[in-house]
Structure 1
Amino acid sequence: MPRILVYILVSIAAVYLLLCAALFVFQRALIYFPQPSTIETPDTLLKLSVSDADLQVSVRPHVGPKALIYFGGNAEDVSRNLPSFSKAFPDEAIYLLHYRGFGGSSGSPSEEAIARDALDLFDRVYAEHPQIAVVGRSLGTGVAIRLASQRPASRLILITPYDSLLELAARQFPIFPVQWLLKDTFDSRKYAAHISVPTLLIMAEHDEVIPRVSTERLYGQFTPGVATLKVINGVGHNSISESPEYLKLIGAGL
């Protein structure tokens, strides 16, 4: 083999390995995009102190047995949901978790850290509200389904859900061995079979982020009769909440 060709192949391999290393080191910067909170008043914020972080939770207090806990997307300011949720769901106390690094919460986000934070928030809310609907959107569906498999949620609602972040990453980076590189896999499939409470999956007809097949694969992992799949027509991944059907479907699933 000519020496120049060897040099070229070695250079290509070196660049490839360098890109793999960069993807491994900076992967969480490609997953999480922290946003500040736009709605902050003493009446709408709850501080949740956990072992290694102080978390901010946007809240609408309400006396009664029912509550809604919401986990947002990877670039979502969850406080923006507070006005519409408060109006649409008057009978529920509302808790919107700002992930670590988001909306004034300290720390850095990771799958395991967020999962622990979700458990801590649920236990805090459950002490006052024994009927908790767990709601997740996009990335947050992975948080919500894992939580609902570990705690006595009364309802589970998954908005634009996926079966596995690993599968999505493999689609987006097909030339890289993401199965060896990805730390936060959010493998919702393995939790679906452990869900026994009524579950609603809400899909966007023109979702440009989560492939339809990913949502349908997740739906197929639930025990028959547990989950229902609904499609909101004419909307995409980020515009789904603009549909008049959006809050209606969530409300129907509570």
Structure 2
Amino acid sequence: MPSFPRSLAVALGVGALVYVALCAALWGFQRSLIYFPQPRSAGPQVPSFGLAVPGAQLVVTHRPRPGAPALVYFGGNAEDVSASLPELETAFAGHALYLLHYRGYGGSTGQPTQDALFADAAALFDHVHVQHPNVTVVGRSLGTGVAVHLASQRPVQRLVLVTPYDSILGIASAQFPFFPVRWLLRDPFDSGRYAPAVTAPTLVLMAQHDEVIPEASTRLLHTRFAPGVATLQVANGVGHNSISQHPAYAQWLAGLR
């Protein structure tokens, strides 16, 4: 029976150890690759309030306004959502505004995880819905996964997804093809799984030159919704982070075109 040379066996053993170590590193540090908490830059003149949830105290940047319409906003993985308040005030002049600072972001306590963000989003929606029965939900980048899950569970009036993905699992699997990402990833944000249950009219807003979210992932998500629920709009000439600079951005958010 043939045997491997000792040097080859040693090399294979070292390679296996390195591979296992890299898998362990991906497992241990994966959330630092997904979440980049930001402080809240808005001054005291911008209203906010605290929302108590199990295991954390959340900060919500808030523009009060009486009446039925309200907007709930979930930002990107490195976004201070209070900085998005001016553009949202332009797009949703007639709405009360609620911008969630994820756990660990903007003064909110706790650590961000997929399940925690899903639960926190539902808690904020339920809080808002008591006073504002017509709630539009906007998610951007990472926040689109939070928004899709929420819309599959709650009576959202309208859903807007800015630079969304089908799943972080799918993107990570493509980026790390030699690793068992499906078994390692704890926060898959599988929007495609929840999209079929969404009944609210949905806008999927894709940047033509998105350098973060692959075009195929966004287009795949669009196909996951039931027929007639979602509309795909391509913002030409802009990228992932510059999409809000498109001249029609506020109109798209508001559903005017």
| Same fold flag (TM > 0.5) | yes
8 Å contact kept, 2:90–2:250: no
8 Å contact kept, 1:68–1:93: yes
Cα distance in 2 for residues equivalent to 1:7 and 1:42: 65
Q: Once structures 1 and 2 are overlaid, which stretch shifts more, 80-89 or 65-74?
A: 80-89
Candidates 71, 74, 90, aligned match of 1:71: 74
Candidates 61, 69, 80, aligned match of 2:83: 80
Candidates 10, 16, 22, aligned match of 1:7: 10
Cα distance in 1 for residues equivalent to 2:244 and 2:117: 23
Q: In the alignment, which residue of structure 2 is the partner of 1:208?
A: 211
User: Percent identity among equivalent residues?
Assistant: 56
Q: Give the drift of 1:80.
A: 0.3
Does 2:248 correspond to 1:245? yes
Q: In the alignment, which residue of structure 2 is the partner of 1:148?
A: 151
Please, which runs of 5 or more residues in structure 2 have no aligned partner? Answer: none
Which residues of 2 match residues 25-44 of structure 1 at below 5 A? 25-41=28-44, 43-44=46-47
Q: In the alignment, which residue of structure 2 is the partner of 1:232?
A: 235
Amino acid aligned to 2:102: Y
8 Å contact kept, 1:199–1:253: no
Cα distance in 2 for residues equivalent to 1:11 and 1:175: 17
Cα distance in 2 for residues equivalent to 1:90 and 1:63: 12
Cα distance in 1 for residues equivalent to 2:102 and 2:202: 23
DSSP 3-state at the match of 1:64? coil
Q: In the alignment, which residue of structure 1 is the partner of 2:48?
A: 45
Does 2:116 correspond to 1:107? no
Q: Per the alignment, do residues 73 and 215 of structure 1 end up closer, same or farther by CA in structure 2, a change over 3 Å counting?
A: same
Cα distance in 1 for residues equivalent to 2:64 and 2:17: 56
What are the Cα deviations for residues 64-85 of structure 1, in whole angstroms up to 9, with x where unaligned? 1000000011111111011221
Does 2:64 correspond to 1:98? no
Structure 1 stretches of 4+ with a deviation exceeding 4 A read: none
Q: How many residues get paired?
A: 254
Candidates 108, 118, 126, aligned match of 1:123: 126
8 Å contact kept, 1:134–1:157: yes
8 Å contact kept, 2:40–2:82: yes
Cα distance in 1 for residues equivalent to 2:184 and 2:7: 31
Amino acid aligned to 2:163: T
The alignment's TM-score, normalised by the length of structure 2, stands at 0.96
Cα distance in 1 for residues equivalent to 2:63 and 2:55: 25
Cα distance in 1 for residues equivalent to 2:155 and 2:161: 16
Candidates 162, 187, 192, aligned match of 2:190: 187
8 Å contact kept, 1:155–1:253: no
Q: Give the drift of 1:88.
A: 2.9
Does 2:57 correspond to 1:54? yes
Q: Give the drift of 1:215.
A: 0.9
Amino acid aligned to 2:203: L
The alignment's TM-score, normalised by the length of structure 1, stands at 0.97
